[in-house]
Amino acid sequence: MKKLVSMVLALMLVFSLVACDAKDKAKDDGKITVGVVQTNANESDWRTANTKSMNEAFAAAGFETKMVFGEGDHAKQIAQAQQLIQEEVDYLVILGLQSAGWEDVAKAAKEAGIPLIMADRELELSEDLYTAMVCSDFEAEGVKAVDWLKAQNMDTVDIVVLGGDTGSSAQLGRSKAIEEGAATNGWNIVFNQNMKGWDETLAKQAVTDLIASGKEFNVIYAENDNMARGACDAMDAAGITYGKDGDVKVIAFDANKWALEKVLAGEFNLDIECNPLHGPRLVSLIQSLEKGEKVEKNVYVEEEMFDAETITQAIVDARSY
Ligand code: AHR
């Protein structure tokens, strides 16, 4: 019996050594492994373009990508990030469902010597807890919309705010801008709710219910293109006109190509770009870090805005997502 136990223990030891060796070999194949904690696989057209951009750019750069999806669950994202740290990825890229609650992950990454890079959405972390940030300035995006709305010189401004995922830096920034803009300019926010998962169907239902309640409004401030489209579907069903020549102005964010076609058609009045193409930016950043070069700590992505009064087909055709 003793012989059998010692044989089993010996076999277990051999297998564990082989497994460790395989992992070490995987790390020794010279490939840079990038762990990516993404929000949701099918969150929005923006997210689809963002995921595609990272996967394509990382593959072209010869990186191994380990991408995981939180699917609306912040705690799951935290656990996924900790798991990637355990797996000793070379870089950890976080796109947070929530902007808060990342300190322990950041400390664990730092302890493990794994550079943490924020992409897309800024996280609430002190500068000593992350290596670099490549994000959008969501409040600045919202301020662009507020400035545009102010320039419309409307007698009354009754705004429907369709927010994104509660607590994401994208929702926090864009909502802060419109709420402060309304307070400063004496506008009315007649509806202000965040749609779980930036969901187009939820946005359509919310506007449908609002119309049924008899609430008057003349501005839709939708924090992404998909939710703006949902709002337009609801207005179509109720015979409410909108856009360039309609009763309701439609403001959207992301500037997906299909949405810019709607700006060109006069269905959306304004679309504020939120650029999803972080893949090449992250590759360049990681390659610089690999060479030991000093990198800029905080980079906000350059973004435009598109007005139905000035957009052209050429502008739309030139867009890459
Ligand atoms: O973080 C960017 C936001 O997340 C986009 O505006 C939205 O479409 C996406 O889902």
Strands 270-273, 305-307: pairing is antiparallel
Q: How many domains does the chain have?
A: 2
Nearest residue (CA) to ligand 1, atom 4: 47
Question: Can you say whether residue 153 is alpha, beta or left, with left for phi > 0 and alpha for psi between -120 and 50 degrees?
Answer: left
CATH number of the domain where residue 189 is located? 3.40.50.2300
Same domain as 234, residue 121? no
The answer to the question of residue 222 being in a domain is yes
Atom of ligand 1 nearest to the CA of 43: 10
CA of 44 to the centre of ligand 1 (A): 7
Question: Which ranges of 28-119 does DSSP label H, i.e. alpha helix?
Answer: 45-60, 74-86, 103-111
Q: For ligand 1, is residue 170 a contact (CB within 6 Å)? A: yes
Please check whether residues 93 and 187 belong to one and the same domain: no
From first to last of the 321 residues of the chain, give the pLDDT tens digit: 566 666 666 655 555 544 444 444 345 578 999 999 999 999 999 999 999 999 999 999 999 999 999 999 999 999 999 999 999 999 999 999 999 999 999 999 999 999 999 999 999 999 999 999 999 999 999 999 999 999 999 999 999 999 999 999 999 999 999 999 999 999 999 999 999 999 999 999 999 999 999 999 999 999 999 999 999 999 999 999 999 999 999 999 999 999 999 999 999 999 999 999 999 999 999 999 999 999 999 999 999 999 999 999 999 999 999
Mark whether 131 and 117 lie in a shared domain: yes
Mutate to test the pocket of ligand 1, among 45, 136, 141, 254 (most ligand atoms within 8 A of CB): 254
Domain region containing 103: 32-136+276-290
Residues 53 and 116 in one domain: yes
Q: Are residues 68 and 148 in the same domain?
A: no
239 with 283, same domain: the answer is no
Whether residue 76 contacts residue 40, with contact meaning beta carbons closer than 8 Å, is answered with: no
Based on the fold, state whether residues 105 and 175 are members of the same structural domain: no
Is 64 within a domain?
yes
Greatest Cα pair distance in the chain: 91
Same domain for 110 and 176, yes or no, is no
Has residue 22 been placed in a domain?
no
Does the residue 284 lie in any domain? Answer: yes
The answer to whether residue 60 is domain-embedded is yes
Indicate if ligand 1 lies below 6 Å from the C-beta of 253. Answer: yes
* Helix, strand, coil percentages in the chain from 3-state DSSP, rounded to 5: 50, 20, 35
171 Cα to the center of ligand 1, angstroms: 8
The number of residues in the chain equals 321
Same domain, 79 and 218: no
* pTM of the shown model: 0.90
Distance 306 CA to ligand 1 centre (A): 17
Same domain (yes/no): 312, 189:
yes
In what helix (H) or strand (E) does residue 231 lie, and over which residues does it extend?
Answer: helix 225-238
User: Do 103 and 164 reside in the same domain of the chain?
Assistant: no
Mutational pocket test of ligand 1: of 46, 71, 77, 99, the residue with most ligand atoms within 8 Å of the beta carbon: 46
Residue 153 DSSP class: -
Distance CA 296, CA 149 (A): 34
Tell me whether residue 230 is in a domain: yes
User: Long-range pairs for 293-299 at CB < 8 Å and ≥24 separation?
Assistant: 295/131, 295/132, 296/132, 297/127, 297/131, 297/132, 297/133, 298/132, 298/133, 298/135, 299/132, 299/133, 299/134, 299/135
Query: Quick check: is 27 in a domain?
Result: no
120 Cβ inside 6 Å of ligand 1: yes
Whether 229 is in the pocket of ligand 1, judged by its Cβ within 6 Å, is: no
Q: Are residues 149 and 97 in the same domain?
A: no
Strand partners, 93: 36, 117
Q: Is residue 144 part of a domain?
A: yes
- Ligand 1 centre and the CA of 92: distance in Å? 20
